[in-house]
Structure 1
């Protein structure tokens, strides 16, 4: 009887061990990303090349992604794509695994311009995916683009009621900080108040706070000038050639979305394989052509058609970027930003 029990126990242990090994070896990568941010045909290509199936789920905000990862303690997903200062938050709260650079043969394709940013100084926890700016879009049928050189031009009386601003607090507060000569990442309340006072003056000119409504607002000519993400601006200028994207002399707030691996990801090797696939120049090129944001990939940029290489929205010059700045976390000062933001948005 004891011998039979031992045989049964051994068989059960073998089954459990085999199931665990199968779970570890399962060919899957669970990707949690922004919607419409990785073309489906590339996900299919990755699976065909590697045999690794991609479970792709989406979120609509960094806040939603961050809250879910925090709730799950960094489990459930193998690749996530936070923006700039959310990398800082996730890194500081221990939600991210360290990247194994030896598994990324295409890392050297990345432009030094986007590397070693304050939110991840050595890129130990994040790999740049796409980046861009939030700058000025104008209707050249109604506005002489040569006359627009500064964020202060939004205050001109002829634009009253015709300005669109982003409803993203850090974008719009960052714009106002640059306009008043400060860093987009300041923690100084006096400087944040300066930005608020600038926006308070601008408030009567604002038709809408809604960066997702840019197309409708410009097409209907409800607005003639305002803030836009560079990718949206590129799409719009293809449809409406009378629009032009302009970098002001004070610089523009910059954003960078990065590929990260949660600390308790169950398929870290597959995650590295997926990230390395996205870093291949011919793959990164197709992502730019699909979504029209700026690429951090030097090899991909050289493969782009001339129209995108010559687009200042997609391919800004060094001069365009000279005063621009990536957003980073601002620690406890975030509460100061939020207070002034609410004061602005609740004006009668």
Structure 2
């Protein structure tokens, strides 16, 4: 048999060989297992420090549902990736409250079926039906936190402490301060300090916010989101603008720090689960979300990272040293808490932030 005939037979037999293998596989018991494995999986896109890997492993072992995890470092990254993929590729996402409406407007979110959630009546009502999603039609609040002033008590021994944002912005004070590196939060708190409320600011007010932050820069030790607790515990800054989760980490290391809620009021954020509009695994998504709201799963992330739960029974049981109790927050201070808002366009935010950092 010459080489030409051999090659011809090879071209004929190879496709037949693979076709036979495919038929054998499809009619074997392994095919069903393989296909079911694909269908019993979900893909989530979340913050890197909120969904614990051990909780995911436990969920996979108990349910047989595989979880593919993707992480993002900011809400703008989340929005950009969803816009790039036209909302495809993920089943569950975890936007901060102020990103819910932009995602809904772009058609990226699916309405929530609360009848499939076994914990809804256990959520604290203070954290439901807020401006960004009045009926919680698209969002499921999971964790939340508020901002305040981290104080080095040793530095202020024998000195007066003003329970005010003035301690962060008034150049008359002679100590170093620490700030987050998130421009949205910084611009919100600067606007809150200057004008007493969060609203759309005109050009003159934006200029005042920019000038305030540029003057403050002279006594800012560092702008950091990940290490704001370190600024406090290392004594680099006597006063630090930080969320409760960062203060929690600081307090675990030293006992000479304290957390103040300014008398003028403060800011808060809520992290939410949402199901994407293009997800075709909605039932599996609800199974996973219900699992994440189990007491042990919520306690694990809160006790490790210092976030506050939205489940009432866990929220009122938490006791953070150096932090006002939840009873005080909800009874006396809650009306002074304002949710961080999208008050600045990306262009405005970039222009002000570049001017401050220059």
**Which TM-score tier does this pair reach, normalised by the shorter chain?**
0.7 to 0.9
- State the alpha-carbon separation in 2 of the partners of residues 260 and 73 from structure 1: 16
Q: Does 1:69 align with 2:50?
A: no
**2:73 corresponding residue in structure 1:** 60
**1:335 corresponding residue in structure 2:** 347
**1:225 corresponding residue in structure 2:** 239
Change (3 A) 1:154 1:328: closer
- Listed as ranges, the gaps of 5+ residues in structure 1 are 1-7
Asked if 1 retains the 8 angstrom alpha-carbon contact of 2:75 and 2:99, the reply is yes
**1:265 corresponding residue in structure 2:** 279
The counterpart of 1:209, out of the listed 208, 214, 223, is: 223
Q: Does 1:39 align with 2:52?
A: yes
Q: Does 1:150 align with 2:164?
A: yes
TM-score by length of structure 1 reads 0.85
Asked if 2 retains the 8 angstrom alpha-carbon contact of 1:162 and 1:223, the reply is yes
- State the alpha-carbon separation in 2 of the partners of residues 244 and 138 from structure 1: 5
The 10-residue stretch of structure 1 (92-101 or 206-215) with the greater mean CA deviation from structure 2: 206-215
**2:117 corresponding residue in structure 1:** 104
Q: Tell me, what secondary structure is at the counterpart of 2:229? A: helix
Question: How do 1:220-299 and structure 2 match up within 5 A?
Answer: 220-299=234-313
**1:49 corresponding residue in structure 2:** 62
- State the alpha-carbon separation in 1 of the partners of residues 214 and 114 from structure 2: 46
- State the alpha-carbon separation in 2 of the partners of residues 311 and 160 from structure 1: 25
State the Cα deviation string for residues 267-298 of structure 1 (Å, max 9, x = none): 11111111122223443233211221111111
**1:3 corresponding residue in structure 2:** none
- What is the deviation of 1:56? 1.7
State the Cα deviation string for residues 95-122 of structure 1 (Å, max 9, x = none): 1111111111211111111112222121
- State the alpha-carbon separation in 2 of the partners of residues 44 and 315 from structure 1: 35
Instruction: Give the CA RMSD over aligned residues.
Output: 2.9
- State the alpha-carbon separation in 2 of the partners of residues 210 and 309 from structure 1: 23
- State the alpha-carbon separation in 2 of the partners of residues 227 and 123 from structure 1: 30
Q: Tell me, what secondary structure is at the counterpart of 1:322? A: helix
**1:118 corresponding residue in structure 2:** 131
Change (3 A) 1:199 1:314: farther
User: Which of structures 1 and 2 has the bigger CA Rg?
Assistant: 2
Asked if 2 retains the 8 angstrom alpha-carbon contact of 1:82 and 1:257, the reply is yes
Q: Tell me, what secondary structure is at the counterpart of 1:123? A: coil
Asked if 1 retains the 8 angstrom alpha-carbon contact of 2:44 and 2:90, the reply is yes
**2:335 corresponding residue in structure 1:** 322
Asked if 2 retains the 8 angstrom alpha-carbon contact of 1:231 and 1:292, the reply is yes
Change (3 A) 1:184 1:66: same
- State the alpha-carbon separation in 2 of the partners of residues 281 and 258 from structure 1: 17
- What is the deviation of 1:342? 2.3
Q: Does 1:137 align with 2:150?
A: yes
